[in-house]
Amino acid sequence: MKISTLTVKGTFDILPNDMTLREWMKNTVTDIYKQGGFQQIETPSIENLELLTKSEGGENLNLLFKILKRGEKLDLSKDNLTEDQLCDLGLRFDLTLPLSRFYTNNRGELPNPFKAIQIGWVWRAERPQKGRFRQFTQCDIDIIGEKTEIAEIDLITTTAKALKALSFKDFTVKINDRRIIKGVIMSVGFEEKEIESICITLDKMDKIGENGVKKELLSKGYEEAKVNQLIKALVELKALDKEALLKLNVDEEVIESLKQVIDVVNKQSRGEYSIEFDITLIRGMGYYTGQIFEVVSNEFGSSIAGGGRYDKMIGRFQKEDVPAVGFSIGFERIFTILKERNFEIPTNSTKIALIYSCNEDVNSVFNWANKLREEGNIVSVFPKNKKFSKQLSNLKKQDFKYFGVYSKGEEEKLQLLED
């Protein structure tokens, strides 16, 4: 019996055309990021299980791919084995946790502040569905060691530039601050320990609407009066109203910082995109401590980037907290959008096929190919098939534009491949 040649469920093979688009995307954004002083790094795909499971990864912890211990470390003779006894490693489920580990592990050799680029695969054992993969690419920039909002401004303007370079035109940056959400939630009488659970529900506002959020909060057992008050407070707080926020015990500093970010980003946008305060923006991860942001494509009606400040994560790995902010573009989402709209990558290389019939000519054909390559063309050499016209139509299908047949002593001449 032949072995199945399908990819593992939820993963995908990348064919040449898709690969070209993905590589173009990566090069386009890294060029922008590097111009902005960010430096690319990479961490291993596998991490110690202890690191992964003791993180605030939330839902992602249930989606871990765990790796079996090897050699003497694996003892299968015991009964009632647990996953922790069987496994010691796992595949990373995001790039933020590994970055925090990386920073602590290498801080002596890193600049301060450290502006990082990471592009790499992450793995989550999600229930497979359209647009959800078990292995997918994340593309992050982070600034570690900068406590002022210059980090947020830098990340937002750089990400916006990257999105423009990826051909996105009509988008809006939404921004909020975890400390404002906290202020609102506590102002109506909820306790600090309830914030996380309430945020998880509030995060669904755009999917299930106001009524859905209310229903879910009631089903979690929260008092109806408080829930109503909370939703009312959120609805009323559409603008960044300083007076109203101060009444909710939000620090003036938090409000001024948001205003500064919105003001500078607005100016930097030159009207090509917009930034707006959105009290309903929550973002799922438990580790955010300050400003959070998301980019929504108005054209495609979906979120294409997201991030925020996480000043308390690195402190879990070392004595001192280190401020950190990150912004991630939705690589797979953007790839799907570009592919669906048949986006054409700018290229100036021409594909040429050189054909020979006789073994004695191979060296000369390679010489010809090299000359054409030096002129910037993409050149492949093929032996001549018996069915020559079929060979030519196949080359045409493969996007070859010209072909040349080598004949000793004759002029080296290229011909257009006709339909």
CB environment 357-396: b (16+ within 10 A), e (fewer): eeeebeeebeebbeebeeeebebebeeeeeeeeebbeebb
Q: Is 8 in the site for a second copy (CB under 8 A)?
A: yes
Among 21, 61, 125, 414, binds a second copy (CB under 8 A): 125
**Between 105 and 187, CB nearer to a second copy:** 105
CB of 352 to a second copy, least distance (A): 9
What element of type H or E holds 39?
A: strand 39-40
Question: Hey, which residues between 339 and 368 contact a second copy (CB under 8 A)?
Answer: 349, 351, 359, 362-363, 366-367
From 194-202, 227-235, 238-246, 256-264, span contacting a second copy (CB under 8 A): 256-264
**Between 158 and 297, CB nearer to a second copy:** 158
Q: Tell me, rounded to whole angstroms, the distance of Cα 281 from its chain centroid.
A: 18
**Between 83 and 210, CB nearer to a second copy:** 83
From 146-154, 162-170, 197-205, 407-415, span contacting a second copy (CB under 8 A): 146-154
Which residues, 6 or more positions from 77, have their beta carbon under 8 angstroms from its beta carbon? none
CB of 313 to a second copy, least distance (A): 12
Which residues, 6 or more positions from 5, have their beta carbon under 8 angstroms from its beta carbon? none
* Residue 350 burial (C-beta neighbours within 10 Å; 0-12, 13-18, 19+): middle
C-alpha distance from residue 214 to each of 197, 227, 303 (Å): 13, 7, 23
From 15-23, 173-181, 241-249, 277-285, span contacting a second copy (CB under 8 A): 15-23
Q: How many CB atoms lie within 10 A of CB 168?
A: 22
Question: Hey, which residues between 85 and 104 contact a second copy (CB under 8 A)?
Answer: 86-87, 89, 91, 101-102, 104
Among 153, 195, 233, 248, binds a second copy (CB under 8 A): 153
Q: Judged by CB under 8 A, how many residues of this single chain contact a second copy?
A: 98
**Between 65 and 190, CB nearer to a second copy:** 65
Q: How many CB atoms lie within 10 A of CB 75?
A: 10
Question: Hey, which residues between 271 and 330 contact a second copy (CB under 8 A)?
Answer: 316-318
Question: Hey, which residues between 164 and 203 contact a second copy (CB under 8 A)?
Answer: none
From 113-121, 179-187, 230-238, 329-337, span contacting a second copy (CB under 8 A): 113-121
Q: Is 21 in the site for a second copy (CB under 8 A)?
A: no
Which residues, 6 or more positions from 326, have their beta carbon under 8 angstroms from its beta carbon? 96, 99, 140, 141, 142, 143, 155, 307, 308, 310
Among 21, 24, 28, 46, binds a second copy (CB under 8 A): 46
**Between 117 and 285, CB nearer to a second copy:** 117
96 is in an annotated binding site: yes
Among 59, 148, 225, 239, binds a second copy (CB under 8 A): 148
Which residues, 6 or more positions from 45, have their beta carbon under 8 angstroms from its beta carbon? 91, 92, 120, 121, 123
From 245-253, 264-272, 278-286, 325-333, span contacting a second copy (CB under 8 A): 264-272
From start to end of 198-323, where are the E strands? 274-277, 291-297, 302-309
Which residues, 6 or more positions from 90, have their beta carbon under 8 angstroms from its beta carbon? 46, 47, 48, 49, 52, 53, 64, 65, 66, 67
Q: Alpha-carbon distance 16 to 166, whole Å?
A: 19
**Between 202 and 379, CB nearer to a second copy:** 379
Instruction: Show binding-site residues.
Output: 94-96, 124, 138, 142, 283, 287-288
Instruction: Show binding-site residues for L-histidine.
Output: 94-96, 124, 138, 142, 283, 287-288
